[in-house]
Amino acid sequence: MQTGNRRAATLGTISAILYVFLWSAAFVPSRVLSRAAPPLSVLWIRFLIAGGLLLLGVAFARLPLPRDRKTWLQIALVGVTGNCGYLGATYLAMQHLSAGMGAIIASTNPLILAMLAPRLLGEPLTRRKLAGLVLGFSGVLIAMQARAGTQSARPRDVLLALFGVVCLVISTVLYKRIRTHPHPLVLNAIQLSCAGIILLPVALVFEGPPRIPWTPSLVGSLAFLVLVLSVGASMLWFWILRHGEASRVSAYYFLTPVFGLGLGALLLAEKLAPLDGLGLAVICAGLWLAMRR
């Protein structure tokens, strides 16, 4: 029994780290897209392509759709907050915000969620978990301090990105409160399609008809985000949430700067600061403490 529990815990840890790595990798192509094309237009195109592919998978597998309106509404809200709210705000912010700084701000997710989980999800917030989350967030603040006052971290863009994180937290809470979970393929297909349908008219109002220069780098970035993130990583995230406490699983978001800063430096030539090493060490220590039972 203990061996089975250890295997399940190991699988959960590996899955969570893989998800955070993929999620962190998205900041690089997202920055490419947000600076080369209208961000909201790119997003609704991404959501509808990904949702359409998943709906084809649902039809091919003959999976049942939810029968009650409440479940449809809950899934739609998960998509609107997690995709339109989070990604919409993030893309707008990343027109100026660096990919590394975007990853740092995104890692505030666990602390925000931990504050809400006891009341909204009934998940206990132990002293050890709280200490780990606070320590992890301290590491985030260290990394943010290294970029304060630079053009990679303007206050307006930071606040916009933080608003996106709050939307993502709300999306996580809404998902955990769904009583009847459909198949992950069905859930992901519905939430992405709803997000795309709702964001389309908003993008047309604020950005007009999409004028997108379909360069190889832009097409490659969009393909990566559709297939790897919207289809693959999203389904992995819902599976992880379904099998673990939201606040404990979300603590892995503290690893976002580790991957985000590294990939930003490697692929976009973004500079690393001397305090980054200290910040990332503190983040890892906080994560270790938060994940202990």
Q: What is the pLDDT of residue 147?
A: 59
The answer to whether residue 152 scores a pLDDT higher than 60 is no
Can you tell me the distance from the alpha carbon of 173 to that of 122, in angstroms, rounded to the nearest whole number?
11
Helix then strand then coil, % of the chain, to nearest 5: 80, 0, 20
Q: Which domain does 263 fall in, by range?
A: 2-291
Residue that is written with structure tokens 């200290």 in the block: 278
Can you tell me the distance from the alpha carbon of 104 to that of 283, in angstroms, rounded to the nearest whole number?
11
3-state secondary structure 81-121: HHHHHHHHHHHHHCCCCCHHHHHHHHCCHHHHHHHHHHHHC
Sign of the CA dihedral with 223 first, then 229, 232, and 234 last = negative
What share of the chain in percent tops pLDDT 90? 27
What SS3 class is residue 55?
A: helix
Q: What is the pLDDT of residue 292?
A: 62
The answer to whether residue 232 scores a pLDDT higher than 90 is no
Model confidence over 248-259: pLDDT tens digits?
666 676 677 667
Structure confidence at residue 263 as a pLDDT band (50, 70, 90)? confident
Q: What are the φ and ψ backbone dihedral angles of 138, each rounded to 5 degrees?
A: -60, -40
Can you tell me the distance from the alpha carbon of 99 to that of 184, in angstroms, rounded to the nearest whole number?
29
Q: What are the φ and ψ backbone dihedral angles of 214, each rounded to 5 degrees?
A: -80, 70
Domains identified in the chain, total number = 1
pTM, rounded to two decimals: 0.78
Q: How many helices (H) and strands (E) does the chain have?
A: 15, 0
Model confidence over 55-84: pLDDT tens digits?
999 999 999 999 889 999 999 999 999 999
